[in-house]
Every structure is written in C-alpha cells, then in structure tokens.
Amino acid sequence: MAEEKPVEESGGFLTNIYLEIVQSPLNIALVVAIAFLAYKILKRKEEPVYAPPEPQLPKLRKDFTPQELKKFDGMQEDGRVLMAVNGNVYDVTKGKRFYGPGGPYAAFAGRDASRGLATFSVECKTDGYDDLSDLNSMEMESVLEWEAQFKEKYDFVGRLLKPGEEPRNYSDDEDEEDSSATSGNSTTPAGDSGGGDKPKSE
Ligand code: HEM
C-alpha cells in the first residue's frame, strides 16, 4: 500500500496560488494590472521633485509702446515675458515654455502676437504698431478667441499704446481700472475689457 506523502505546507500553498493564477486568463490579467499599478505608484514615490518653484515676479500694471514691450521677451534677467494681443498686454511668463527663448512661439514674446495668431503663423514678427485693419472678419474673430484664452490664463498688464497715445496711470485707480479698461485696438468690439484680477488657472 502506497503511503500518502505529507503535503509540504508552504510549498503546496504557494503552488496552489500559482496554479490558480496561471490557469485563469482573468487572474493573469489582474496580476499584471496590479503589478503595473504598483510599479507606477512606487516609481512616482521614488521620483524626487527637484524643480524649485519659479519665483513669482511682482505684478506689472503698465501700458506699453511696442518698443517698450520688446525688451520683455524673456531674455532679460528676470525672465519676464509679455505679449500683446488685440491691443492688450498679458504677462505670459508662466507660459515660458511656449514663448520663452527657444519656445515654439518665441516670436510672439515682447511683441504684438495678434497678426501671427490671426494668420496662424508662428513666424510672424510684428514690430511697431499694427492696427490690424486689413484682417478679415474670420481672422479678427480668431484674434478675439485667442485673447479670451489669454485672459483666462494670464494676468492682464496694460494696453499696447497706439502711436501718440498716452500711458494710463494705473497706480491711481488700481481697483477700478479692471472694469473700465478698454481695448487698445480700434478694430475690436467696443468695451472689450482688458482682463481682470480673478484667479487664473495654469
Ligand atoms: C503643427 C502645428 C501645431 C501644433 C502641433 C501645436 C500644438 C500645441 C499644443 C499641444 C498646445 C497646448 C500646449 C499646452 O497647453 O500644454 C499649443 C498651444 C498653443 N499654440 Fe500651438 N500648435 C501648432 C501650431 C500653432 C500655430 C501655427 C500657432 C500660432 C498661431 C500656435 C499657437 C499656440 C498658442 C498661442 C498656444 C497657447 C499657449 C499658451 O497656453 O499660452 N500653435 N499648441
């Protein structure tokens, strides 16, 4: 009579689990999914966050001539990037990866980007004042849509001054100017305000 072999406690248990898993495709899939998630979680924990937060630049409130705007192309020491669209100047420093040196839209930094945005050209470099009067209605519509995005995301700084136009003194009316600031461009709908102080999303 053959003697019953004593079941190896731990080996048998593990073998059973292994067999349970490999015999069912669903279990295999579950194991793979769990392993993948565990890997992802552990990997994320291991990754040290080296990038220090960008220092916040003081908020700017100022109107600019196109010439004054030019130096805010991200190349100067503080790295601030300003960009005008539709006669309004926005601080796009937090979008530096787009507009900063080497970025895909660097041609817009320190410039009026309206024409480039209207014509979908990242090469378009507007120097000097551009009244955009030759843009057709679709192009102008596109400029307004882009501006709406910038208004949401970035801080409004001031207006892009037409030749001969005087800059506004924002320090006098810091609180009220948001509601009364008008677009600096004559081709836009009247009363288009220049942004606001509401929290902006990244
Ligand atoms: C092959 C063509 C293009 C591709 C694949 C592309 C891709 C993108 C992507 C993926 C974003 C979003 C980035 C993000 O929010 O993380 C973006 C944003 C943007 N693109 Fe383009 N783009 C192209 C052409 C253009 C052109 C021709 C213009 C110029 C008129 C342009 C102007 C912009 C602007 C202004 C932003 C917004 C950046 C911001 O949020 O400040 N893009 N593009």
Backbone angles phi, psi at 144, to 5 degrees: -65, -35
- Reported as a pLDDT band with limits 50, 70 and 90, residue 46 is low
pLDDT at 186 over 50: no
pLDDT at 50 over 80: no
> Which residue has better confidence, 30 or 79?
79
> Which residue has better confidence, 125 or 180?
125
Is residue 96 domain-shared with residue 35, that is, in the same domain? no
Give one DSSP letter per residue of 126-194, joined into a string: --S----TT--HHHHHHHHHHHHHHHHHSEEEEEBPPTTPPPP-TTTTTTTHHHH-B-S-TTSPTT-B-
Residue 173, pLDDT score: 62
Helix (H, G, I), strand (E, B) or coil at 50: coil
Average pLDDT over residues 113-130: 96
Helix (H, G, I), strand (E, B) or coil at 200: coil
From 93, 98, 117, 126, mutation site for ligand 1 pocket: most ligand atoms within 8 A of C-beta: 98
What percent of the chain stands above pLDDT 70? 74
Average pLDDT over residues 139-164: 98
For residue 126, the tally of other CB atoms under 10 A from its CB is 17
For residue 16, the tally of other CB atoms under 10 A from its CB is 11
Phi-psi region of 195 (alpha: psi -120 to 50; beta: other; left: phi over 0): left
Average pLDDT over residues 27-53: 74
Is residue 38 domain-shared with residue 117, that is, in the same domain? no
Is residue 36 domain-shared with residue 71, that is, in the same domain? no
Residue 19, pLDDT score: 82
Is residue 78 domain-shared with residue 25, that is, in the same domain? no
The finding on whether 120 has its CB within 6 A of some atom of ligand 1 is yes
pLDDT at 199 over 60: no
Average pLDDT over residues 55-84: 96
Give me the number of domains the chain comprises: 2
The finding on whether 98 has its CB within 6 A of some atom of ligand 1 is yes
Q: Is residue 59 part of a domain?
A: no
Distance 32 CA to ligand 1 centre (A): 37
The domain in which residue 21 lies consists of 15-43
Average pLDDT of the chain is 82
What distance lies between CA 162 and its chain's CA centroid?
28
What percent of the chain stands above pLDDT 90? 56
Q: Which of 82, 101, 78, 100 is nearest to 91 (CA)?
A: 82
